Amino acid sequence: DFCLSRGLGDVYKRQALLLLLGIGAIWHARSLSVPFAADPVGPKAFPTIAGAVLAVAGASIMLRPEAIEVEAGHRMRVASVAIASLVYPFLLLPLGFVPATALLGLVTARAFGGKWVGSIIASILLAAAFLLIIDTGLGLPLPRGPLGI
């Protein structure tokens, strides 16, 4: 039985936290403001979208907790991606966008079972593509680091 084997109360607590975190991000985003000319999209867009994704994920899992399948070793994968995500902002300025994003992508790819060579290539190509889309395409400057990338 799901309730006995997985601890239904723990699932609801975790997903309620996720739901509240999403709602908090949306609420906080409403308070952000900069002059219109500084950013055509505005500072509210990203935290609002991220908050909505968190809130929807938390609510959907609360409604159907039995749909979650937990794999052995998932905590180490989650921990490695979480740690890499926490370190990422501190690497952006000293390394630049492409190397820092490629490292985050590499950790994430390896956490989900990607092979080394494929993970390295995909991480570098995705980081470069993101740079082209965001920096060049949208005109939003990203940190280039000592290598200029």
Give the mean pLDDT of 65-71: 70
Distance CA 65, CA 113 (A): 25
Query: What mean pLDDT value characterizes the chain?
Result: 83
SS3 126: helix
The pTM for the full model equals 0.64
Question: Could you report the per-residue pLDDT of 84-139, keeping only the tens digit for each?
Answer: 999 999 999 999 999 999 999 999 999 989 999 999 999 999 999 999 998 888 88
| pLDDT score for 74 | 78
SS3 content of the chain, % helix, strand, coil (to 5): 75, 0, 25
> Environment class of residue 120 by beta-carbon count within 10 Å: exposed (0-12), middle (13-18) or buried (19+)?
middle
Residue 149 has pLDDT above 90, yes or no: no
CB 48 within 8 A of CB 83: no
